[in-house]
Chains A and B, each alone.
Chain A
Amino acid sequence: MSVRIISDKCTACETCITACPFGASEMRDGKAFITEVCTMCGSCVEVCEFKAIERMEEATTPAVDLSAYKGVWVFAEQHKGDVASVALELLGEGRKLADKRKTKLSAVFIGHNIKSKAKDLIAHGADLVYLADDPALRDFNDDSYAAILTTLARKHKPEIILAGATAIGRSFFPKVASSLYTGLTADCTVLDIDAETGHLHQTRPAFGGNILATIVTPNHRPQMATVRHKVMKPAPRNDSRIGDIIEIPYTQAGDLRTRVIKTIEELGETVNICEADIIVAGGRGLGSAKNFHLIEELAKVLGGAVAATRGAVDEGWIPYPHQVGQTGKTVCPKLYIACGISGAIQHVAGMQSSEVIVAINRDPDAPIFNVATYGIVGDVHEVVPIMIKKIREMRG
């Protein structure tokens, strides 16, 4: 595939330069020129009014026999034996894809003492569960998780494999994709399948959420993607669903190259912000560690989690696991209350897919109001206590 300028038709209008998300289009000798930074995304082809840019598809041959690959798989993540909520979301989404493609949905479930939970995956939509339950699999390990999934995928040839875009999913899934020489798309927010060809259309944000890209893996299988937490809807539980559980014997090949010596949970009483439905976040606008307690109190009243901007974390008001944004976590709660946050692009990248956003800031021109559902212009130190009081009153 290549993108080419048809010189005769180019009027040097420079529209393609503005349209290119990668800065790959420039003017040379009075005509548009596509540099080697080009990713062949075709944005310029669409905007050119003069049809002076063409994208030429070279005939490509599939690397594998695509028709040999069937079924949708999800990696069902667990923490200390409990099925992670993202696994249920993947089953909900996987079920939809499998139904559309008229195929089966399977779950791959790895851990120790998790056998009794396998039926929960069936109740949430799986037709089949591959269960690897072994004391050696108690802790997450890139090598053993990847080895199990790679071996299963080589044997059963699924068309699609999904995992959550969690710390675990994003750590070991690339190893599987690398071994299988197939495509992996990170952190997807929308998935759709072509019922005919089975091509998975994977849409994900890039450039800090400023653009979206739809990506396919046309000639390789399985098609792999990690999916952002909280975006997909879990399927309701149905205990009358039936399915098979296949136990996979686990044998460790040689010595482990890496091992977990110990695991320390750091968030104390607060919940993992990626899991929270309600988040109250604070920025430098709060002014001090003491004032940060205001945020914690509001979160407590609403039953939510506490988050912060990079600025607040750098000030030492709250530890890094609470940081939302480009260098922190990406969250997508139902409600996000931004207190004293100006709305720098790096922070917004991590929270703009929240369902409802409330922004409290004394500067009416703060960029946070551009993404806010409701904006309150006022000093956060005054607004938050009143808000807490009113919520309490409302509850009686």
Chain B
Amino acid sequence: MNIIVLVKQVPDTSEVKINRETNTLIRDGVPSIINPFDMYAVEEALRLREKHGGKVTAITMGPPQAAEALKEAVSLGVDDAVLLSDRAFAGADTWATSYALSQGIKKIAEYDLVIAGKQAIDGDTAQVGPETADMLGIPFVAYIRKIEQVEGNKMIAERLMDEGYDVVETSLPALITVVKEINQPRVPSFKGKMKAKNLKVTAWNAKDIGADDNKCGLKGSPTKVVRIFPPAPRGQREILTGSMEDQITTCVKKLKEQSFII
């Protein structure tokens, strides 16, 4: 079973702090990590390989330094890594990102399953998975929390929904996105780290994957960011005073005034 995993290098948003005076993000010293949801995707791919054999390839689109994320994936046990990097890809929105990824995946050609995290923690759009699936012409199933069975060209899996879960059957090849419930990612092995260290990441540019320049990067992106700004500060804040009993009394009174207690 050949599996392709989509990974994205993101700033560790848990390390991002806000400068309260300028209301801007402080990114100094913020490490770049593999999008946490993609770690579950990598882990699931490795588990499927252990069970069914085959090969796992990680692919990412990004600047040259995104190769670091691929090396991390290799240290975990991924067999092969592909970096899509080109100035032409810069400024891509989800449509143009999905276009580049789908071109890259078409070049890899042999795959039974594509796995991605449910969303990336910097943009939180959850769109690149389903858009890539559409461009590849394969079915898409979101929010997988458990793969029950893979047999022939069919897979049965549990899809987490807002009010519970669905058991879904899909034909393969397919693209799925996974949620954190699916597994507990492993840590890199020593052997894996050595392999990653010596790895020469395969790098493809727009021409290598036969991408149409007009569909890449900013030029190919239907959406444009016109403004970035800090959220308005939250309204009145009140740390209640007095004894604990007094604080609770005041709080309950306020909730009553605002009709939360009827």
A262 pairs with B218, CB closer than 8 A? no
Let me know if B238 and A375 touch, CB within 8 A.
yes
Q: Is the CB of B93 within 8 A of A183?
A: yes
- Does the CB pair B134–A212 fall under 8 Å? no
CB distance B125 to A207 under 8 Å? no
A143 at the interface (CB under 8 A from B): yes
**Proximity bits, A211-251, B CB within 8 Å = 1, else 0:** 11111111110000000000000000000000000000000
- Say if the beta carbon of A178 comes within 8 Å of chain B: yes
B108 within 8 Å of A (CB atoms): no
Kindly state the separation between the CA atoms of A182 and B125 in the bound complex, as whole angstroms: 15
Q: Which residues of B contact A23 (CB under 8 A)?
A: 11, 27, 30
Residue A132 CB within 8 A of the other chain = no
Cβ-defined contact, B228 with A261, below 8 A:
no
B235 at interface, CB cutoff 8 A: yes
Q: Give the bracket for the number of chain A residues in contact with chain B.
A: 35 or more
Chain B's interface size range is 35 or more
A168 to B161 alpha-carbon distance, docked (Å): 8
B183 on the A face (CB < 8 A): no
B189-197, B199-207, B252-260: which lies at the A interface?
Answer: B252-260
Interface residues of B in 212-227 (CB under 8 A from A): 218, 221-227
Chain B positions 113 through 146: 1 when the CB is less than 8 Å from some CB of chain A, otherwise 0: 0000000011111110111011100111111010
Residues of chain B within 8 A of A185, CB atoms compared: 223
Partner of A215, one of B126, B179, B225, B256: B225
Q: Which residue of B lies closest to A150 (CB)?
A: B134
Whether A376 contacts B134 by the Cβ 8 Å rule is no
A170 to B171 alpha-carbon distance, docked (Å):
21
Q: Taking the nearest CB of chain A, how far is it from the CB of B47, in angstroms?
A: 19
Cβ of A274 and Cβ of B162 under 8 Å apart?
A: yes
Residues of B within 8 A of A220 (CB): 222
Roughly how many angstroms separate A261 CA and B158 CA in the complex, as a whole number? 10
CB <8 Å contact, A184 and B94: yes
Contact flag A394-B63 (CB < 8 Å), given A41-B227, A213-B227: no
Q: How far does the alpha carbon of A178 sit from the alpha carbon of B132 in the complex, in Å?
A: 8
Q: Tell me if A211 and B130 are in contact (CB < 8 A).
A: no
- Closest residue of A by beta carbon distance from B241: A377
Residues of the A chain whose Cβ atoms lie less than 8 Å from the Cβ of B258? 335, 356
A216-B223 in contact (CB<8A): yes
- Say yes or no for A311: interface residue by CB 8 A criterion: no
Q: Is A302 within 8 A of B167, CB to CB?
A: no
Residues 133-185 of B contacting A (Cβ, < 8 Å):
133-135, 138-143, 145, 156, 160-171, 174, 179-181
Q: Say yes or no for A116: interface residue by CB 8 A criterion.
A: no
State how many angstroms separate the Cβ of B223 from the closest Cβ of chain A.
4
In the complex the two chains form, what is the Cα distance from A311 to B244 in whole Å?
26
- Bound Cα distance from A167 to B166, whole angstroms: 12
Q: Is B19 an interface residue (CB 8 A)?
A: yes
Task: Name the prevailing secondary structure of the A interface residues.
Answer: mixed
**Pick the contact of A327 from B163, B180, B256 — CB < 8 Å?**
B180
**Contact residue among B93, B122, B171, B240 (Cβ-Cβ distance under 8 Å from A258):** B171
Q: Kindly supply a per-residue 1/0 record for chain A positions 334-361, scoring 1 wherever the CB is within 8 Å of any chain B CB and 0 otherwise.
A: 1100000000111001001000111000
Do B164 and A207 touch (CB < 8 A)?
no
Would you give the shortest CB distance from B214 to chain A, in whole angstroms? Answer: 10
Query: Bound state CA distance, A1 and B225, in angstroms?
Result: 11
Q: Could you tell me if A386 and B245 are in contact, using CB atoms closer than 8 angstroms? A: yes
Contact with A along B12-39 (1 / 0, CB 8 A): 0110101100101111001000001100
CA distance A214 to B229 in the complex (A): 8
A37 close to B (CB within 8 Å): yes
**A241 CB → nearest B CB, Å:** 29
Chain A: minimal CB distance from B20 (Å): 9
Which are the 8 A-B pairs with shortest beta-carbon distances? Answer: A183-B222, A183-B223, A174-B130, A178-B134, A266-B164, A257-B139, A265-B164, A186-B125
28 cross-chain CB contacts under 8 A:
A1-B218, A18-B26, A21-B228, A35-B63, A36-B63, A142-B142, A174-B131, A175-B130, A181-B95, A183-B223, A185-B223, A212-B230, A213-B227, A214-B226, A214-B229, A217-B223, A259-B168, A264-B164, A320-B180, A321-B164, A327-B37, A327-B180, A349-B13, A356-B260, A373-B234, A376-B240, A378-B244, A378-B247
Contacts from B to A (Cβ < 8 Å): 11, 13-14, 16, 18-19, 22, 24-27, 30, 36-37, 63, 87, 90-91, 93-95, 98, 121-127, 129-131, 133-135, 138-143, 145, 156, 160-171, 174, 179-181, 218, 221-231, 234-240, 244-245, 247-252, 254-256, 258, 260-261
> Apart from A257-B139, A356-B255, what 12 extra A-B contacts exist at CB < 8 Å?
A1-B91, A178-B95, A182-B95, A187-B125, A210-B230, A217-B224, A260-B168, A262-B167, A265-B163, A267-B164, A345-B16, A378-B244
Which residues of A does B touch, CB under 8 Å? Answer: 1, 18-21, 23, 35-43, 63, 79, 139-140, 142-143, 146, 166-168, 170-172, 174-175, 177-179, 181-187, 201, 205-220, 257-267, 272, 274, 278, 302, 320-321, 326-327, 329, 334-335, 344-346, 349, 352, 356-358, 364, 369-378, 382-383, 386-387, 390-391, 394-395
